[in-house]
Amino acid sequence: MIDPRLRDRVAVITGADSPLGIGAAIARALARQGCKVVLASRPRTPPDTADHVRDALRADGAEADSLAVDLAEPTAARAVFDHAESCFGPVEILVNNAAHRAPDTFRPDPVRGLVTVDADVLDAHHAVNTRAPALLIAEFHRRHLRRKAGWGRIISISTDTAPGTAGEISHLASKHALESLSRSAATELGPAGTTVNIIVPGPVQTGWLSEHAAARAAELSPLGRVGRPDDIADLVVFLASHQARWITGQTLYAGGGKRML
């Protein structure tokens, strides 16, 4: 058996709102390796599904807590790390998984389900998908240096359509920016012992794919199926592991996707 050496590491996972989502799967996977996990999720009206994820983790014996926080607020990064440290100690693993997504278009007469790009739409996406991860990475690094730590892992979750496509203008632009800032962080944080990598999933069924869309995506996949949240969670565990200690600044395309030749 391979020991990833993650026991008692403290991990923050953003965007773990849904029990069926990628964030919840990542939290479960890290908890199974002995990590202490903090779920940073957007504020919701009751019932709070992030609390359900937390409670399920605790029921399985994991050390877990959750924090309802609006990542669009500039002070959110400090609040997330303060909360995690008060619960379990210094954060050593950060997973940037949260995403704001509202389909939009450049067309002035959008079809149903889309809105026309404007300043508010752009700002809402970049606040959560770009600015928040950048501030979280900066806060991670400040605290890492302050305690003179020598081990850290940051993993950002993007999407295989981040290079751009119709009907997802702001979402994909902000995710592409996330990839860029993560690669820059890999260069700057490496000397302090922190690796930074990006996972780019193909279509993953978290409840958003219709039966027809899932079947079509499966036909286009080299593996003949759409992704499952656990597929991404297992990659996060690997990139966080001791075995991935020499991997940084890399973009891992999962499930084939548009970059497969």
The tokens 């751009």 sit on which residue? 164
C-alpha 83 chain-centroid distance: 18
Using DSSP's 3-state secondary structure scheme, residue 165 falls into: coil
pLDDT tens digits for range 162-204: 999 999 999 999 999 999 999 999 999 999 999 999 999 999 9
Following DSSP, what letter does each residue of 94-130 receive, concatenated? EEE-------EES-SSPPTT-EE--HHHHHHHHIIII
* Separation of alpha carbons 44 and 34, rounded Å: 28
**What averages of pLDDT result for each successive group of 10 residues across the chain (261 residues)?**
92 93 97 98 70 94 96 97 98 97 94 94 98 98 98 97 94 98 98 98 88 90 92 98 98 73 40
- This prediction's pTM: 0.95
